[in-house]
Amino acid sequence: MADDVFAEALKRLDAAAEHSQAHPETVARLRRPKHMVEVSIPVRMDDGSLELLTGYRCLYDDTRGPGKGGIRFHPNVSASEIKALAFWMTFKCAVVGLPYGGGKGGVIVDPKKLSGLELERLSRGYIRAVGRSIGPDTDVPAPDVYTNARIMAWMMDEYSLMVGQRTPAVITGKPISLGGSLGRDDATARGAYYITKELETIREWKPESTTVAVQGFGNAGQHYARLCAGDDYKVVAISDSRGAVYNSDGLDIRTQLQVKQSTGRLDASGGKEITNEELLELDVDILAPAALENVITSENAARISAGVVMELANGPTTSEADRVLSENDILVVPDILANAGGVTVSYFEWVQNRTGDYWKLEAVHERLGEIMRREFHAANRFRRKHQIPMRTAVYALALDRLGEAHEAMGTSSTFSKR
């Protein structure tokens, strides 16, 4: 992400405020994070040397509940990026009605260059550094870019050692055996899939003739392609960082998953090799950007031909591109709604950790589906009522909910002299 990503995020707030009932004080408060820490993490390397790594944790807003948001390990992590991601999490939790605020964390590091022991030392060191800023009732982290269930287990264990008692609810995305929730592995994609099924009804799609292109074949992209293909949607293109594979008759997603898992590559024999850029411009019913930020820009937006853009990635569309897509009557289901299945099932995990009552997979799917369908239709009604793009509607709806919480304790009109 560019260094001005936080300024870019605030443009969403300004657009939403024009259609929201929120008081100007709420808007002003949401222009700044509540709490942001930068920490130095000393990591002893396997060769005996010491590396001092920089980490961040941002609690953007906790008016509706504890902060919630992932921890990423990536060489391009920056303070601006972390603030923007925490801002997005604040709105994401509000738009799906979760009793959470927004948070995010990260470390500037290339985890691919670390050994297993170095990665564990970093993970535990990060928690020691930010431990006073997180907690089950304060700010609840989760996995993000280049972090996973095992890293969450190390972090939960380190926090538990710090406070002197086992505290599974401090972090989500853990292994099932250590308090994780069933259904967390495909929750992000499954949430988007439930929205897809609602669009199927609205747009009268027939799955067997409905085409899907998925840019990015990581966790979210793989599961979304699998769920769509399993329901007879025609997944015609998928991609990873090396390139894309296209077949107008539909790809064999089961084979692609097997080949990707065993070789780390896509099965090019299943279709024609194209570029990621060409995939984005395919004439399909659904385009699902599921990898990087800012892949749909002012440069290529006019060439996007999909009827629906389902944003599985965070921030794949720039604000300039948004205007073009809207003018071309392309429905964008924005990231803070489309990929909110992940944080929703993280909430389920947190609830289960706190109550000790662990749910069956069917219950997780049922509750996730109920929330995603309900909030998609709420956003779509708001969009149609105000005749605005879906992204603006989603942000405005979330802003209304945040405003209700902020303003419940009074605004300037409450305290002004009469």
Active site amino acids:
104
CB 217 within 8 A of CB 266: yes
Q: Kindly give the pairing relationship between strand 102-108 and strand 50-61.
A: antiparallel
Residues 6+ apart with CB under 8 A from 243: 266, 273, 274, 275, 276
DSSP state, residue 165: S
Q: Which of 339, 340, 303 is nearest to 321 (CA)?
A: 303
Token representation of residue 93: 């939790």
Q: Alpha-carbon distance 416 to 418, whole Å?
A: 6
Q: Alpha-carbon distance 300 to 328, whole Å?
A: 13
Q: Alpha-carbon distance 238 to 252, whole Å?
A: 11
Q: Alpha-carbon distance 286 to 297, whole Å?
A: 18
Q: Alpha-carbon distance 96 to 155, whole Å?
A: 27
Q: Which of 369, 365, 391, 343 is nearest to 194 (CA)?
A: 369
CB 137 within 8 A of CB 143: no
Q: Which of 240, 242, 237 is nearest to 270 (CA)?
A: 237
Query: CA quadruple 377, 396, 61, 106: dihedral positive or negative?
Result: positive
Q: Where are the alpha helices (DSSP H) in 231-340?
A: 253-263, 276-280, 319-327, 335-338
**Whole-number CA gyration radius for the chain:** 21
Q: Alpha-carbon distance 189 to 191, whole Å?
A: 5
Q: Kindly give the pairing relationship between strand 139-143 and strand 67-74.
A: parallel
